[in-house]
Each structure stands twice: as C-alpha cells, then as structure tokens.
Homo-oligomer: A and B are copies of this chain.
Amino acid sequence: MKSIQAVTYPVLFQDKAYQKLSKLVEVNNYSTLFIMVDENTFEHCYPKFIRNLATDKRIELIEIESGEINKNIETCIGVWNAITELGGDRKSLLITLGGGVITDLGGFVASCFKRGIDFVNIPTTLLSMVDASVGGKTGVDLGVLKNQIGLFANPEMVIVDTDYLTTVTEREIKSGTAEIIKYGVTYDVNLFNEIKNNKNLDIKDLIFRSIEIKNEVVLQDPKEQNLRKILNFGHTLGHAIESFYLESEDKENLTHGEAIAIGMVCECFMSAKLLGFPIEKVNEVKEVVLNIYDKITLLKDDFSAIMELLKHDKKNINGQVNFVLLNDYENHQIDCKVPEELIVESMEFYNS
C-alpha cells in the first residue's frame, strides 16, 4: 500500500513502515527511544512492534493507564518525570503505540519536553488511525473538557498497521467507524454508501481513504478557516454528550464514536431545519447509525447539563456556539448559530 504525504511527514502503511522507522532512528541518531504504551498495547501490540524495529539504541518503556479518564495533564506530569528520570534529552525520540489517548497525549508530552523533542505516532485503534494520523492536533482534557489543553505539532512519521486492529474490541472498531461516516457525509458520499451497504468492506481501504480525505482537507485549509471545519461535523454536540457521560457517575461512558454518531444524527436534523438538508438523508444517516450502535436514550433531565457543556466548545466565540452543518452531503456551511430549542429538538429527534 502506498504512503500518504502529510504536510511535513509521511503516513506509512503495514510492515514496510518499520524499515522506514528504523532508518529514521539511524539517520537522526537519537539518543534514546521512549516507547509510550498502555497496559493493553504493551501486551498486544508491543511484541510485534519491537520485533519489527531494527535498532541498537537504548529503548525505554513508558506505560500509562488506558482510558480517556487518564488523558489529562497529571498523566503528562508523570510521563515528563519518568522521561527525566530515565535521562531523556533533546535528542530523545518518543514513539506512541496506542489509541487516541496515547497519540494525543504523547504528541503533547513530546512537544513540551525541553521545548520539544521528536515523536512518531503508531495508532493501534481504528479511531486513532482514521482520526489522528494527520492534522497535527495534540492535547489532553482539562477536567471533562476534551482537548482543552494542547497544541499543533507534527510527528516525524505515522505508521498505520492494521494488524493491531485484531487486538481491539468490536466496540472500539465501531467507535472509529463514526469518523469514517463523517468523512463520507461531509466529503465523499461514496464512502458513506460503502458503510451503509456494508458489503465486502475492506477495512484497509476504508482507513486509507479516510486518511487520504482528512489529509486533503487539512492541506487545503491548515488553519481551520473553512473546509477543515467539516472535521468537526457531529463533534460540537457529540463532544458535549461525550463529556456529559464522562462526568456522570451513574452512567456508563460512551465511546467517542458512539457520542459523535449521536451528534451527527442531531446535527443532520439541525441542518434539515436550518439549511434545507433533505429530511430523507437525515433519516438515512440515523438508520445507518442505529444499525451500528445501540440506541442510547438521552434523558430530558440531562439536556440542560449537556447544553452547559456545549458552551465550553473550543470553537465558540463570545459565548456563541458555532456548528458546522450540511446543505447536502459533501456540502457544508460553517459558523451556523443554532437556537437552543432546536438543539433540544434535535436530541428529541434522535430519541424518537
């Protein structure tokens, strides 16, 4: 499979990628390789990774606990201290091996350690492969506010190896699928139709096409002035719902994809009401979502807390929530103001 050239680095696929990584390590003469894993990727992904890496450099493992709940600045402090104690210097390389928590947090940790060391991302979940391979976003949560602290920073290389997907749960695969649906409805309806028809899906192709789309979008609009905002489709309300479930002690957390899938259904509904997005397409998206994900019922009593979280969305300006909505598939409109009643109505539509 050929590679994808992101703005300053390549996204490499499957086994040959490890040769390139070994070469990178050699050429840059890194002093130490710090491999960041969690307990799951250490057990299931690290053995393959280390077998494929050819280097005589010192290797140190940094293990953090899995889970979004640990994607915070306190975990970063722990990692910074660990790297310091292990003698990390400016010529150290940090390699992240894991899902979005590991890649987002690891990129942030590397970018701030001694004002920046190189890093390489190896996403091991479908979500992180299709979402975090390009775009340069790093960051951690502040309390329940997702990615509130972070910065833009590019890795030296990304390796996408679908072998790692055999190690993750069905639920995690579904979580990544939501992002593929997003690329489909906002940018390439053929991709959406593939998911909808759900026949002979080749996961490698879906991943490649998703990364290709995100890369096209980011290269065309690196500063998120217009087109890149489509990547937020479903995420404005979706993030608020995700945060709400994360902070609710009596509710099970949703995966990112489960929350974003609900967000997409709701934002399609808002699009229909505000921009004339065809109602049959709203129903189509809802049907695809409900075919994949269990129905969650959003309680009326919870609406106000979700609305409150919406106010902290990173894209808000002057307290005004900004949605990116759809005129049609592959046709978006940015900076849409949505009345509170319509946001509530959209959640009721999802529930119905």
Chain A interface residues toward B at CB < 8 A: 31, 73, 76-77, 80-81, 84, 87, 89-91, 108, 111-116, 137, 139, 142-143, 145, 147-152, 311-312, 314-319
Considering the chains assembled together, what is the distance between the CA atoms of A318 and B294 in angstroms?
52
A151 contacts B312, C-beta separation under 8 Å: no
If over half of A's interface residues share one DSSP class (helix, strand or loop), that class is named, otherwise mixed; here it is mixed
A115 contacts B31, C-beta separation under 8 Å: no
Considering the chains assembled together, what is the distance between the CA atoms of A108 and B315 in angstroms?
20
Considering the chains assembled together, what is the distance between the CA atoms of A213 and B114 in angstroms?
24
Contact of A112 among B31, B89, B150, B311 (CB under 8 A): B150
The answer to whether residues A152 and B115 also contact, given A31-B318, A87-B319, A90-B317 and a CB cut-off of 8 A, is yes
Considering the chains assembled together, what is the distance between the CA atoms of A143 and B85 in angstroms?
12
Measured CB to CB, the nearest residue on chain B to A72 is B77
Contact partners of A81 in chain B: CB under 8 A: 142-143
Contact of A73 among B73, B150, B311, B318 (CB under 8 A): B73
Measured CB to CB, the nearest residue on chain B to A87 is B319
B84 contacts A312, C-beta separation under 8 Å: yes
Contact partners of A147 in chain B: CB under 8 A: 115
Considering the chains assembled together, what is the distance between the CA atoms of A91 and B76 in angstroms?
26
Considering the chains assembled together, what is the distance between the CA atoms of A289 and B77 in angstroms?
37
The answer to whether residues A151 and B111 also contact, given A81-B142, A145-B84, A312-B84 and a CB cut-off of 8 A, is yes
B116 contacts A84, C-beta separation under 8 Å: no
A80 contacts B115, C-beta separation under 8 Å: no
Measured CB to CB, the nearest residue on chain B to A147 is B115
Closest 5 pairs between A and B when the two form their complex, measured CB to CB? A114-B314, A31-B318, A91-B317, A112-B149, A115-B150
Considering the chains assembled together, what is the distance between the CA atoms of A148 and B319 in angstroms?
35
Cβ contacts A to B, 6 pairs, < 8 Å: A90-B314, A91-B317, A115-B137, A115-B147, A116-B151, A151-B151
A89 contacts B317, C-beta separation under 8 Å: yes
Contact partners of A151 in chain B: CB under 8 A: 111-112, 115-116, 151
The answer to whether residues A142 and B316 also contact, given A115-B150, A116-B152, A152-B116 and a CB cut-off of 8 A, is no
Contact partners of A114 in chain B: CB under 8 A: 148, 150, 314
User: What 17 new A-B contacts, CB under 8 Å, besides A31-B318, A87-B319, A115-B150?
Assistant: A73-B77, A77-B142, A80-B148, A81-B143, A89-B317, A89-B319, A90-B314, A90-B317, A91-B317, A111-B151, A112-B112, A113-B149, A114-B148, A115-B137, A115-B139, A115-B151, A115-B314
Considering the chains assembled together, what is the distance between the CA atoms of A316 and B231 in angstroms?
40
Contact partners of A115 in chain B: CB under 8 A: 137, 139, 147, 150-152, 314
Q: What is the distance, in angstroms, from A105's C-beta to the closest C-beta of chain B?
A: 13
Q: What is the distance, in angstroms, from A120's C-beta to the closest C-beta of chain B?
A: 19
Considering the chains assembled together, what is the distance between the CA atoms of A115 and B108 in angstroms?
10
The answer to whether residues A142 and B89 also contact, given A112-B151, A115-B152 and a CB cut-off of 8 A, is no
Considering the chains assembled together, what is the distance between the CA atoms of A100 and B51 in angstroms?
47
Contact partners of A145 in chain B: CB under 8 A: 84
Contact partners of A143 in chain B: CB under 8 A: 81
Considering the chains assembled together, what is the distance between the CA atoms of A115 and B140 in angstroms?
10
Q: What is the distance, in angstroms, from A63's C-beta to the closest C-beta of chain B?
A: 20
